[in-house]
Homo-oligomer: A and B are copies of this chain.
Amino acid sequence: MNALDTLVAELARLPGIGRKTAQRLVYHLLHHGPERFTSLAGALEAVRDHVQPCGECGQPTEGETCGICSDPRRDRGLVCVVEESSAVGVIERSGAFRGHYVVLGGRLSPLEGIGPDSLRLGLLERRLDTGEVREVILATNSSLEGEATATWLQQQLARRNGVRVSRLARGMPVGGDLEYVDGVTVTHALTAREELR
């Protein structure tokens, strides 16, 4: 395979990028000259060489400990458990959470051979062992596997006395149109309806 085809194939391995889009990206880079190849390759190598999981929460960071874990103003009593580090960004942008995170790095999936050993449960254990944690918020995705992971974690956490376990509320997305919301979500939204007074 020649260099162009290799690059197209390499880009097409990325999610949401098909062969045609990959080709368009390569033509774009070629059009803009060699320095674009250098800067993108350099940025990739910098992340490969300098970014590793934070020793406390597991999200990718450049130092030993990420900015969230090393921020003394954040509440160490609240731990939010997410599947992937992308979820940390989503929750941080909401501005509604000032606690800490644990990034599992996946969710239980027997079909894909992902058991508890594949997840970063050690980080969660270590947090709990400090005795500082008052509440664990299970913020795994609302998929079948995310729900199964949350249920499994809930059972594991039941052994810990004095630690509340909660789950993100499920219901209508704010600004969401009822017409475009699936039946399971509507069922949740109905079951967990909030009384107005």
> Which residues of B lie under 8 Å from residue A84 when comparing CB positions?
27, 31
Interface size on A, residues (CB 8 A): 47
- The reply to whether B60 and A47 contact each other, CB–CB distance below 8 Å, is no
Q: Is A155 an interface residue (CB 8 A)?
A: no
Q: Is A48 an interface residue (CB 8 A)?
A: yes
Told that A3-B49, A15-B24, A31-B84 touch, could you supply 12 new A-B pairs with CB distance under 8 A?
Answer: A3-B43, A4-B62, A7-B43, A7-B47, A10-B43, A13-B36, A30-B60, A30-B85, A37-B47, A40-B41, A41-B42, A41-B48
Chain A 1-30 against B: per-residue CB contact (8 Å), 1 yes, 0 no? 011101101110111110001011111111
> Which residues of B lie under 8 Å from residue A73 when comparing CB positions?
none
Residues of A within 8 A of B (CB): 2-4, 6-7, 9-11, 13-17, 21, 23-31, 34, 36-51, 60, 62, 84-86, 89, 105
- The reply to whether A62 and B15 contact each other, CB–CB distance below 8 Å, is no
- The count of identical subunits is 2
- The reply to whether B46 and A44 contact each other, CB–CB distance below 8 Å, is no
CB of A30 to closest CB in B, whole Å = 5
- The reply to whether B6 and A43 contact each other, CB–CB distance below 8 Å, is yes
28 A-B contact pairs sorted by A residue (CB < 8 Å)? A2-B62, A3-B43, A3-B46, A3-B49, A4-B60, A4-B62, A6-B43, A7-B44, A7-B47, A10-B40, A10-B43, A11-B40, A14-B28, A16-B24, A17-B25, A23-B89, A27-B84, A27-B85, A27-B86, A29-B44, A30-B47, A30-B85, A31-B84, A34-B48, A37-B48, A40-B44, A41-B44, A41-B48
